[in-house]
Chains A and B, each alone.
Chain A
Amino acid sequence: MTQYSDEVFDKVRTALVDALGVDDDEVTPEATLVGDLGAESIDFLDIVFKLEKSFGITIPREELSPEDILTNSQYVKDGSVTPEGMTELKKRMPWADLSKFEQNPRVQDFGNLLTVGDMCNYVATKI
């Protein structure tokens, strides 16, 4: 998995503090965006804008939101991602730590998967 610098973390933290109105010390690498920092769906668009501006990068939606995989009956069975689907997710999101999700890969839990550290890893792959 990609390692990110302190500079990357600082810029990601600034973006999240601005977008979500959280305190600096709440933004830890382990904090989940939805569960711990309270991000709602519209906030993700705001976060993407802020990261694009801060790092001078372009973030295609499908890279952060693999909805096509999670809604594909080939990769989802009985509300859970199949092993084949997990393989696709790992290919699409090599920067994300999917190990915990993989233990019980219910689609409904995917929304609360991403952590601050994942976002830093993702950005580090783009710069």
Chain B
Amino acid sequence: MRWFWIDRFTEFVSGSHASGIKNVALDEEVLDDYCLAYPYLPPTLIVEGMAQLGGILVAEHFDWDQRVVLAKIGKAVYHRPALPGDQLRYHVRLEGTQDHGATVIGTSHCDGELQAEIELMFAFLEPGRFAEGSLFHPGDLAIMLRTMNLFNVAVDKQGNPLAISDKI
């Protein structure tokens, strides 16, 4: 099972914000056992989806030089369950940056209604912490992001298409 919790990037503006889609499907294993007889996407995986969206926003802002990890969930509010057949539209905004981390605010909408709201804090792993070098094998992150449509929608601060960095 691949740890992808967004299906597609739909918007990405470097250093500012990003949007993406998560489709909830009944054939997803994760819906099977979470709540018997009432399948829905576990809220923690909605956080994970927006963390993936936000983590990429942060990592790209720092030119892919930092090993970005989700460090803290400052707030998470769920307004309705995400049921099979729902399409969640995630939006994240870069709120603050520091030398050692960044904060992101995110929302999830379904059928035009606010479905969830979160505040996330990312930290940068110090050199040598857990492992040396990148968290990804060379090229893996680029393949993952291409699969998720990032480079078809991503633009830099001037609105120019974002190039695929050789750092990923």
> A41: nearest residue on chain B (CB-CB)?
B123
Digitize B38-69: 1 where CB-to-A-CB distance is under 8 Å, 0 elsewhere: 00000000000000000000000000000000
B101 and A45 within 8 A (CB): yes
- Any B CB within 8 A of the CB of A77: no
Q: Which of A12-42 contact B (CB under 8 A)?
A: 18-19, 42
Give the contacting residue for B96; candidates A42, A53, A61; CB below 8 A. Answer: A53
Kindly provide the distance from the CB of A32 to the nearest chain B CB, expressed in whole angstroms.
21
Beyond A46-B121, A49-B103, is A61–B98 a contact (Cβ under 8 Å)?
A: yes
A18 to B101, CA, bound (A): 18
Beyond A49-B103, A49-B121, is A42–B98 a contact (Cβ under 8 Å)?
A: no
Q: Chain B contact residues: over half helix, strand or loop, or mixed?
A: strand
- Any A CB within 8 A of the CB of B30: no
A19 to B95, CA, bound (A): 16
Top-4 shortest CB links A-B: A45-B101, A49-B103, A42-B71, A49-B96
A68 to B72, CA, bound (A): 26
Number of interface residues of A (CB under 8 A): 13
Interface size class of B (residues with CB under 8 A): 10 to 19
B99 and A61 within 8 A (CB): yes
Residues of chain B within 8 A of A42, CB atoms compared: 71-72, 123
Q: Chain A contact residues: over half helix, strand or loop, or mixed?
A: helix
Residues of chain A within 8 A of B123, CB atoms compared: 42, 45
A49 to B122, CA, bound (A): 11
Residues of chain B within 8 A of A116, CB atoms compared: none
Residues of chain A within 8 A of B99, CB atoms compared: 60-61
- Any A CB within 8 A of the CB of B74: yes
A18 to B72, CA, bound (A): 12
A52 and B121 within 8 A (CB): no
Pick 5 A–B contacts, CB within 8 A, sort by A: A18-B74, A46-B72, A53-B95, A60-B99, A61-B100
Beyond A45-B101, A45-B123, is A52–B96 a contact (Cβ under 8 Å)?
A: yes
A46 and B74 within 8 A (CB): yes
A53 to B100, CA, bound (A): 16
Residues of chain B within 8 A of A18, CB atoms compared: 74
A45 and B74 within 8 A (CB): no
A103 to B158, CA, bound (A): 56
- Any B CB within 8 A of the CB of A123: no
- Any B CB within 8 A of the CB of A119: no
Residues of chain B within 8 A of A49, CB atoms compared: 96, 98, 101, 103, 121
A45 to B101, CA, bound (A): 7
Residues of chain B within 8 A of A61, CB atoms compared: 98-100
Kindly provide the distance from the CB of A38 to the nearest chain B CB, expressed in whole angstroms.
14
Residues of chain A within 8 A of B74, CB atoms compared: 18-19, 46
